[in-house]
Amino acid sequence: MSQQPVVIIGSGLAGYTVAREFRKLDTETPVLMLSQVHAGFYSKPMLSNAFAQHKNAESLLIKDAAKMAAEVKIDIRQSAKVTAIDPEKMQLQINGEAQPYSKLILALGADPIRLPLQGDGADAVLSVNDLDDYRGFREAIDGKKNIAILGAGLIGCEFANDLVVAGFKVHVIDLAPQLLGRLLPQESAAFMQRKLEQAGVVFHLGTTTQKVERVGGQLSLVLANGENIIADVVLSAVGLKPKTALAASAGIKTNRGIVVDSLLQTTFPNIYALGDCAEVEGRVLPFVMPIMQAARALASTLSGKPTPLHYPAMPVVVKTPACPVLVSPPEPGAQGAWEIEENDDGIKAVFNHTNGQMLGFALMGAAVSEKASLTQQLPALS
């Protein structure tokens, strides 16, 4: 009987990295990657700063599926929609056909969260969560001038900076009173806001978009504070929701994400999850560095050497050239306080536990140069 493949559902960074790392350890076992779309490899973090890099959707595509399959030595099936997983029989339903697996890796990613909006323009609000979305967004803004961005988080601020530098008029709306609400202390957020405002971005904070209506080829946004913004294109960047439906329908435990232990194993043996869809011991970390760490640990486990995932400290770079940012937020509920040092060139915020241990930091502007020395002082996450 021939050996059943390791099947990876998803062709994003998580799927490709686990395939590549596994191939370093095991050159024999067949690996089948399933992609809902075309499985082209690209840099997702660059979608929100591609203008500054002089890149469009075509130049962001690094390699297509055929090249990736040859390079990583795996099979890739495009337009493969998995409709069901049967953990007992160890098989999938793909486009109505059964596909057995020996090990199954869920690298499904996440969906953009969509705000409930009223008005006949609500369906015109765009999200950019993959390369195809990005292509559509670039087409939509071609020749246009006014962009409204819903969300002043990491992705919203990166897009705002990128678009304002490219010559667009950019408005950013967020219910939170500050930028990057979940990552930054108030003083740092205020510094970043000033820098982005100096670059030309207009912020509307502490309010929310209630209605989007079509007005003569443009979109009119009505905010809860009574303001009215006219935009050619509205981009929503209010966060991501892990894709859990497929796993949940198979009886795999899900919470915020697909629940996995430190071996990245779900509640079923031989089914694993990583990346933006996974909740690893209570944490959902939709960033590149955690994916790389998880992919290496999982590849080792798949090759027969169970390897628990240990996260080191993983500062996140926010790609806003008007205000370079490096942030390593303290864990939710951490005991301690921020200490802030600020001057014209930058701001350094350090979160210290009451016992003196540094638990997080947010560096901006010139302070980013202290990255290496401060990162060394951070404890590992697990």
Partner 1 sequence: MKTWQCVVCGFTYDETKGDPEHGLEPGTSWENVPADWSCPDCGVAKADFEMVEV
Calpha distance 361→382 (Å, rounded):
18
Q: How far is the CB of 248 from partner 1 (least distance, A)?
A: 30
Return the SS3 of 305.
coil
Q: In this complex, which beta carbon is closest to partner 1, that of residue 372 or of residue 380? A: 372
Q: In this complex, which beta carbon is closest to partner 1, that of residue 164 or of residue 374? A: 374
Cα-Cα end-to-end distance for the chain: 41
Q: In this complex, which beta carbon is closest to partner 1, that of residue 46 or of residue 105? A: 46
Q: How far is the CB of 38 from partner 1 (least distance, A)?
A: 18
Asked if 148 contacts 219 with a C-beta cutoff of 8 angstroms, the reply is yes
Within the chain, how many helices (H) and strands (E) appear? 9, 27
Q: How far is the CB of 16 from partner 1 (least distance, A)?
A: 10
Q: In this complex, which beta carbon is closest to partner 1, that of residue 63 or of residue 135? A: 63
- Which helix (H) or strand (E) segment holds residue 337: the answer is strand 337-343
What letter would DSSP give residue 378? S
Q: How far is the CB of 163 from partner 1 (least distance, A)?
A: 16
The first and second tokens of residue 72, run together, are: 């990583």
- The torsion angles phi and psi of 116, rounded to 5 degrees, stand at -75, 110
Q: In this complex, which beta carbon is closest to partner 1, that of residue 115 or of residue 292? A: 292
Q: How far is the CB of 75 from partner 1 (least distance, A)?
A: 20
Q: In this complex, which beta carbon is closest to partner 1, that of residue 44 or of residue 243? A: 44
Q: How far is the CB of 292 from partner 1 (least distance, A)?
A: 4
Q: How far is the CB of 328 from partner 1 (least distance, A)?
A: 13
User: Residues 260, 98, 249, 284: is their CA dihedral positive or negative?
Assistant: positive
Q: In this complex, which beta carbon is closest to partner 1, that of residue 49 or of residue 220? A: 49
Q: In this complex, which beta carbon is closest to partner 1, that of residue 59 or of residue 249? A: 59
Cα distances (angstroms) measured from residue 111 to each of 25, 102, 245, 276, 287: 32, 28, 11, 9, 14
Calpha distance 221→118 (Å, rounded):
10
Asked if 141 contacts 232 with a C-beta cutoff of 8 angstroms, the reply is yes
Q: Is 239 exposed, middle or buried (0-12, 13-18, 19+ CB in 10 A)?
A: middle
Q: In this complex, which beta carbon is closest to partner 1, that of residue 231 or of residue 295? A: 295
Residue (of 101, 67, 107) closest to 85 by Cα position: 101
Strand ranges in 267-336 using DSSP code E only, listed in sequence order: 271-273, 278-280, 316-318, 325-328
Q: Is 2 exposed, middle or buried (0-12, 13-18, 19+ CB in 10 A)?
A: exposed
User: Which residues are near partner 1 by CB under 8 A?
Assistant: 13, 20, 43, 45-46, 49, 53, 62, 288-289, 292-293, 314, 317, 319, 371-372
Q: How far is the CB of 288 from partner 1 (least distance, A)?
A: 4
Q: How far is the CB of 21 from partner 1 (least distance, A)?
A: 8
Q: Is 217 exposed, middle or buried (0-12, 13-18, 19+ CB in 10 A)?
A: exposed
